[in-house]
Amino acid sequence: MSDITLRRATADDSRRLSKLVRTSGAYAGEYASMVDGYQVGGSYIEHHPVYVAVDPQGRILGFYALLLDEAELDLAFVADDAQGRGIGRLLMEHMIEQGRAAGLTSIRVVAHPPAEEFYLRTGARRTGTVRHAGHIHWDRPELRYDLTADAA
């Protein structure tokens, strides 16, 4: 993992982040409609803390986006061929550090159902269920990372 670095995303990363979302194997089958045509726009990247994990060649292996005003993880993806290498855990640890630095006491996650176990393994706890609505036809687990000193 020492060869993986984290950096703030730029608007120039928009196409690569959008592709990572749209090609995610986690959103195959019944979940495909959720990411069909999804865009991580340059303006979004410039206005929110979005961080990418990159390898020595500059390939984006994963990323997350944190909405500070809502204290919520908005996006988190790891490339299919990079999973199982600790990149997701590295991203969540970094997100927690960024949340604490911004003065947050917790971070909410409305998770993609297959990702719930990942969030639990990285320290989140289940707090409820968000019922299906609109173009999302399945219930989603609601989780929360506690950022208080007692949780450290």
pLDDT at 25 over 90: no
Q: Which domains does the chain have, with CATH numbers?
A: 5-151 (3.40.630.30)
Of 95, 84, 43, residue with least CA distance to 61:
84
Over range 55-78, report the average pLDDT.
Answer: 97
Q: Is there a contact between 95 and 78 (Cβ–Cβ < 8 Å)? A: no
Both tokens assigned to 30: 């019944």
Nearest-angstrom CA–CA distance, 136 and 33:
8
Residue 152 confidence (pLDDT): 53
Both tokens assigned to 10: 């730029």
Over range 121-130, report the average pLDDT.
Answer: 94
Tens digits of residue pLDDT in 82-108: 999 999 999 999 999 999 999 999 999
Q: What is the pTM of this model?
A: 0.92
Q: 3-state DSSP helix/strand/coil percent for the chain, to nearest 5?
A: 40, 30, 35
